[in-house]
Structure 1
Amino acid sequence: MGKPTGFMEFQHLSEAYEATDQRLKHYREFIITLSDAHASVEGARCMDCGIPFCNNGCPVNNIIPDWNDLVYRGNWKQALDVLHSTNNFPDFTGRICPAPCEAACTLNINNDPVGIKSIEHAIIDKGWEMGWIVPQPAQAKTGKRVAIVGSGPAGLAAAQQLARVGHDVTVFEKNDRIGGLLTYGIPDFKLEKLHIERRIEQMEAEGVSFRTGAMIASKELPAGIVSDASEFISAEQLTSDFDAVILAAGAEVPRELPIPGRDLNGIYPALEFLIPQNREVSGGKANPISAKDKHVVVIGGGDTGSDCVGTSYRHGAASVTQFELMPQPPEQENKALTWPYWPLKLRTSSSHLEGNTQRKFAIATKEFLGEEGVLKSLKTVELDWKDGKMNEIPGSEKTVQADLVFLAMGFLSPVGGLLDAFGVDKDARGNAKATTDGEGCYATNAAKVFAAGDTRRGQSLVVWAIREGRQCAREVDSYLMGDSTLPR
């Protein structure tokens, strides 16, 4: 906790944003971290609430009241140690996590919650600034070799944990840079790649090896998947060369919209727009898809859709419209009913505020319309939702102008034939079948093959991926050594 009476004395202090007209000129982060003084005040608002529901609201079970109190008292180094005890990469979560911990904050019942995410952001930035974050190599090697397929947050978390207890870890990534969708999916204005790069340097100093451009199991990729793999490695080779294999390749196959006109030029899965843009920002070739002066429609109301909105505005789009199949949620949740759980409510991202975004709810796209093979508009219909079922409203059909459409309706399963190549059983959604509790959790049916993150649970949050990577690392360590000292 912070100051016992702090929640009554101090108003919530939010992080500031760079002015919209300025941040639209670049792709750098634009959120201004809390000053030490402001972070201390926000930490002081943490209540002596008896049961810290924020801990359970956080997927990695961050020990939030402790580091709130330490920041309030100015003990930044100790706060960093507490933060790192449960989370390998607060540099990522402090920027892009939606903060379910704040929804669970006791103060959120009738007030603004403690700005937990902003304090986390301040702690990790202070840690790098002061040089407190250094490699932690193992004191002794075990001689065991672990292969990790995928270098997103789950794969990186597992790799760091396993390397720190002495295993030789190699991470395989199909793209030319490490980080998975942290690097190529999330725009730099939300997460600059410096934060990933210095973690990679730390992990290399801890003994982790990285192999980029390495595609495991399959040379064929589904439509909408971007990769520059130059090396193809069979599942048999991987299981032969390593003592354990962790599949943490994410769930990157996009959900499609198979309606008339889908083959028109101008319709793209979201990552076909976002990945080339991140490559351009990092010094690569120009994004072949330009939204400049175009009327953009983003189909899908989640984070990926929001990223398409913000990127389109930076291109100079003439207009941006976002469609959501579900009805518009309330602007304010009924806290008496939803707390401490993640509430259903209208969420407006910083990208939505960067232009005159038209957000349309309870709307379905029926057909793409074009001329000479080029998209010109789309036909929509309004929906009426009753008892969880949607029904089209007769006479509500409209035509909406569109030069570009980005499909951001979520992701389905791991790419290629990854799971099939290893002989891994799948769940009903096509993800790796593995439990997270009991004996042998995170282990698949295939000998010495484990699965974690979106590959196992399906599309989810970065913080869930980190949790699963850490927990899977403990299970792999126990499998290899008979027991484990890693935290679960």
Structure 2
Amino acid sequence: MGENMRLISFEHLVDWCLEEYKNERAIFGIKEDKFYRNKSGNYLKTVFGDKLGSAIGPAAGPHCQLAQNIIGSYLAGSRFIELKTVQIMDGEQIQHAVNRPCIYAEDECYNCEWSTELTVQQAFAEYVKAYFLIQVLAKELGLADYKDFAYNMSVGYDLEGIKSEKIDNYIEGLKDASNTEAFKACKQFLSDNLNKFSKFNKEDLDKISPNICQSITLSTLHGCPAHEIESISTYLLTEKNLNTFIKCNPTLLGYEFARETTNKLGYDYISFTDFHFKDDLQYNDAVAMFKRLMLLAKEKDRSFGLKLTNTFPVDVKRNELPSEEMYMSGRSLFPLSITLAAKLSKEFDGKLPIAYSGGADAANINEILATGIQPVTMATTILKPGGYERFKQIAEVSESMLTPEFKDIDTKSLISYAESVIEDPRYQKSYRDKVKSRKTENKLPLIDCFMAPCKDGGCPINQQIPEYLKLVSDGKYDEAINVIANDNTAPSILGTLCSHPCQDKCTRVDYDKSIQIRAMKFVAADNAQQKFVDAIKKSELKSNKKVAVIGAGPGGVAAASYLRRNGMDVVVFEKLDKPYGIVRYIIPEFRIAEELIERDYQIAVKQGVEFKFNTDVTDSYEQLKKKYDYVLVATGAWMKGDSPVKEGQEKVLDALDFLWNARNEKSAELGKKVAVIGAGDVAMDCARTALRQKGVEEVHVVYRRTESYMPASQEDVNEVKEEGIKIDELLAPAKYDGKVLICEKMSLGDFDSSGRKSVVGTGKFIELEFDTVIGATGAKVDTKPFKDNSINMDDRGRLKLLSSLESNIENVYFIGDCKQGPSTIVKAMADAKTAALDILKKENLSNDFKKFNVPMENEQVYTRKAVLAPIEKGKEEGERCLKCDQICEICKEVCPNRANVIINVEGFNNLHQILHIDGMCNECGNCGVFCPYEDRPYKDKVTLFWSKEEFEDSSNVGFLKLYDDKFLVRAENGNVIEHTLGDGKISNELEKFIKSVSSDYKHFLNPTVIG
């Protein structure tokens, strides 16, 4: 029954708010320090005449459906509240029409829910309850000394439905609620219980007007004809005497513009056809209609305007949601919405009032308001970590933009701003650095689920990232390098070159930009590593066993370091004359300086690792085992990959050969014009290196897909573009004769199983002149030594190893690129750690990997939450860290309905635990999207039920209060138990949960519910 929300009575809502505030200094999870108070005295006068304490609020959607949602929005800073749309289809009928989950806001947001899931009568009651409680709390908490908020009702979708009795009662009830049961009941309860409040009194109660809302927004379905929209608007203006907005769809911009713009911004994977663009209201018809309605509104002394924008329909092609069509919003919608605003504003010379929604947040709110657009509502930004509490920052930063007089839109300013947005990197898909998901493969535990995904799911060597970020930001570099070097044997190299998968998991990516974790590591290394190296003393040998490591690349050196510092005797054999293989000999010097490599190498040397350079190991592994007890093979991937062209392969220069010559021979004759075929990090290195060679004037990267699909990191792609290197997309090289590269033009096809668009040949070819073509499509592993030594491999030539990376030959391990082909430095180091730990375990030796405790004050963590923060230079960047391994609570933050709550439970590792309240959940799925574990909190956390029907219809571990100390409990194994507190029938964990809720959170238990 999780998708059917239970409505809390007004009496219980009041008690809930007062009890939670008294005990937790929070209301519905919104902490007191995130309550918004307008300190400037500025206010906004809307076109409807409302006096607002801020210019912002929730868009008609998930954040304004239940009373607690609306109250939470207000507390955090919302003052213009768009009520969720009501229509003739409601209640169970619409609940059954909406598939679950119905929200997917990982980056751009998608949803397949639209109107209230309540009955119209229930929705009305929820809005009335919130209306009263907002005014009670505003006075009681000192948030405002006047009614500083306004409702805006929303109805749809046709005139017949809007004229129906229940919708008409809804409209008239909000216009004047004095005779409605909901209004009278709320007022009577407050009148009878004024003793519950210290500041709210009878005079305040008498001031609460029954005229709840005098404005309305018409939300129309796609395909609604112009005459129907005009008829409804005319009805609302004349017969209902309401100030009226019309929601307009981005389809007014036309298919070509929308497709071209989304493609340009990197959202070419978002699928939509021209159907709705042809079927929806057309631009010229809209303009003519708006002119007539403006005149009509003036005649009736009403206000008329537009709400931009409504839903943008797209097709479900990548299994985002269980639906065929969904609606897109967020930053991908912003360029379209603001462009439509500019276009219509120009059409009406700024005289047409425009309210706004579509990708607004703290980073752009002032630019929007500066144009005269107001008020501004939002949904996507508050569906992300931080949730409702993001409103506070948005309200505070925009306070200076509040104006006591409604003004025309500054059309010139708006047009200029809209044009700039199209070019703004923040609205390009690449701004998210190709991060797909922050989720890890870790299972969500029932308790103690706080986790920093940067280290527990993102970093292959599990570096203790929040710990060293805190130390670096505090300027404690010596302590920071100790934390880093605990897991990382090459702080300077990884501080410079790491592929930083940790940053892909950083919670900050769902706010603004990932913390620059790699850069922070380098700050520590640059300030403290030499001192750290100087202090290293040769490790004592604790075993008479010896280890041979073949290859002194990053993996080989790491394995040697891990083993030697823990007491093993290690010799590293390297056929080159210096360590670190690819890093030293292939990666361009402008990316990594020689002294940084040497600084890392000295860690292993000081620990006592023996290196033998210019030594090519020719003995078999069995022969080596006669001298050494363990053999670790870390020979890398140095063989040429397959040629990227079918004809003229011999004329294509191999990437590794080119980079070797450029770095070690200090020269490479390339001619004037160079092409690099490939799209990975090596290709980017080739392109940038080629541009630096004498005589080279022009470099192109040739790729068969589009930039958004390039496997290279976004920062590498950005650097290539910044240096003037051209990226030739959708070209598949076929032939090179030494002068002309012939490429087939490609096109993107349908989505494949990976969620990417496939690439399809067009049969059309293009000839491009290049003096040199460099092939950078991947190196290979020389598997001959493996075959010669009878190492088990699969049909594709990949090694078949145990999880410890031990081969079929006992005590012979394979790590790094030789194991499965070219990968990353940090993954090679992770292999080294895995193999080293296995060897130490076999030798009964303890290891020196330890956990560091670098806590942050909880209040400091909470202060950083819900706040967008730009990237900082130097050590201050660490101050953006949200210390997720100490406090996570993301599932609480992103839940629109406040169904995930924090409770304090004694006896666990973390005092704060997550409790899921089934009766407040509609299974929208949003907490499942943002939880860093692979699971879904609304399905996998301890759940409180409010009815036996809900309990029996669920499979969640959880409990239902029956009476006194009696509970119905579903245990971890799925068994259902009638439990009395203290009878020992359930686990200690569940017992603690139930006791805590029973004693400290009685307001959660079995409230008076409606429906």
TM-score by length of 1: 0.75
Structural mapping, 1:127-166, within 5 Å:
127-128=528-529, 130=531, 134-166=535-567
The aligned counterpart of 1:23 is: none
Deviation at 1:378?
0.9
Match of 2:699 in 1: 320
Q: Which runs of 4+ in 1 moved over 4 A?
A: 129-133, 343-348
**Within the alignment, does 1:459 sit opposite 2:822 as a pair?**
yes
Query: Conserved in 2, the CA contact under 8 Å of 1:412 and 1:459?
Result: yes
Q: Which residue of structure 1 aligns with residue 791 of structure 2?
A: 424
Equivalent residues of 2:677, 2:777 under 8 A apart: yes
Q: Which runs of 5+ in 1 are unaligned?
A: 10-48, 218-232, 281-285, 332-342, 370-374
CA pair 472-435 structure 1, distance change in 2 beyond 3 A: same
Tell me how far 1:483 sits from its aligned partner. 4.8
Q: Tell me which structure has the larger Cα radius of gyration.
A: 2
SS at match of 1:214: coil
Does 1:260 find its partner at 2:647? yes
Identify, as 1 or 2, the structure richer in helix: 2
Letter in 2 for 1:263: E
1:308 alignment partner AA: C
SS at match of 1:329: helix
Alpha-carbon displacement from aligned partner over 1:192-219 (angstroms, at most 9, x marks no partner): 12222233333223221212222234xx
Whole-angstrom CA distance in 2 between matches of 1:98 and 1:203: 22
1:330 to partner: Cα distance: 7.2
Question: Are positions 1:204 and 2:204 aligned together?
Answer: no
1:179 Cα deviation from its structure 2 partner = 1.1
1:351-378 CA distance string (max 9 Å, x none)? 5145321112232111112xxxxx1111
Superposition pairs for residues 434-473 of structure 1, below 5 Å? 434-436=801-803, 441-473=804-836
Provide the residue aligned with 1:36 in structure 2. none
How has the CA–CA distance of structure 1 residues 67 and 205 changed in structure 2, closer, same or farther, with 3 Å as cutoff?
closer
Contact kept in structure 2, 1:474 and 1:486, CA below 8 Å: no
Aligned residues: 398
Cα distance between partner residues in 2 of 1:345 and 1:203:
30
Question: Which structure's relative contact order is higher, taking Cα pairs within 8 Å and 6+ residues apart?
Answer: 1
Q: Is 1:275 matched up with 2:660?
A: yes
Post-superposition offset of 1:298: 0.5
Q: Deviations over 1:221-278 (max 9, x none)?
A: xxxxxxxxxxxx44443222211100111122232125112223xx211110111222
1:119 CA drift (Å):
0.8
Partner of 2:759: 390
Tell me, yes or no, if structure 1 residue 75 matches structure 2 residue 476: yes
Structure 2 equivalent of residue 362 of structure 1? 730
Does structure 2 retain, via aligned residues, the 8 Å contact 1:127–1:133? no
* Letter aligned with residue 310 of structure 1: R
Alpha-carbon distance in 1 for matches of 2:561, 2:709: 41
Q: Deviation at 1:141?
A: 4.2
Match for residue 300 of structure 1? Answer: 678
Letter in 2 for 1:357: I
How many angstroms apart in 1 are the aligned matches of 2:647 and 2:709?
Answer: 33
Per the TM alignment, residue 131 of structure 1 is displaced from its structure 2 partner at its CA by 5.1
Structure 1 residues 185 and 427, CA gap change in structure 2 (3 angstroms): farther
Residues 1:51 and 2:451 aligned together? yes
The AA in structure 1 aligned to 2:655 is A
The 1:205/1:53 distance shift into structure 2, 3 A limit, reads closer
1:249 aligns to what? Answer: 635
SS of 1:190 mapped into structure 2: coil
Change (3 A) 1:242 1:61: same
> What secondary structure sits across from 2:520 in the alignment?
helix
Checking the alignment, whether the CA contact within 8 Å between 1:412 and 1:430 is kept in structure 2 is: no
Task: Give the conservation status (yes or no) of the 8 Å contact 1:216–1:235.
Answer: no
Aligned mates of 1:350, 1:211 — CA distance in 2? 40
* Aligned partner of residue 216 in structure 1, secondary structure: coil
Judging changes above 3 Å, is the alpha-carbon distance between structure 1 residues 431 and 478 closer, same or farther for their aligned structure 2 residues? same
Aligned 8 A contact 1:380 1:398 in 2: yes
One-letter amino acid of the structure 1 residue matched with residue 726 of structure 2: Q
Q: 1:430 to 1:416 in 2, by over 3 A?
A: closer
Contact 1:443/1:449, CA 8 A, preserved across alignment: yes
**Amino acid in structure 2 at the alignment position of 1:250:** G
State the shift of 1:181 in Å.
0.6
Could you tell me whether the CA contact under 8 Å between 2:548 and 2:631 is conserved in 1?
yes
Amino acid of the structure 2 residue aligned with 1:386: D
Pairwise CA distance, 1:344: 9.4
Distance 2:682 2:751 in 1: 28
Percent of residue pairs identical: 26
Displacement after TM superposition at 1:485 (Å): 2.3
Q: Where does 1:18-167 land on structure 2 (aligned, <5 Å)?
A: 50-55=450-455, 56-128=457-529, 130=531, 134-167=535-568
Match for residue 179 of structure 1 among 559, 571, 580:
580
SS in 1 for 2:763: coil
Equivalent in the alignment of 1:238: 624
Offset of residue 166 of structure 1? 2.2
Q: Relative to 1, partners in 2 of residues 1:486 and 1:443: Cα closer, same or farther, differing over 3 Å?
A: farther
Structure 1 residues 97 and 472: alpha-carbon distance in aligned structure 2, compared to 1, 3 A threshold: same
- What is the correspondence of 1:181-196 to structure 2 with a 5 Å cutoff? 181-196=582-597
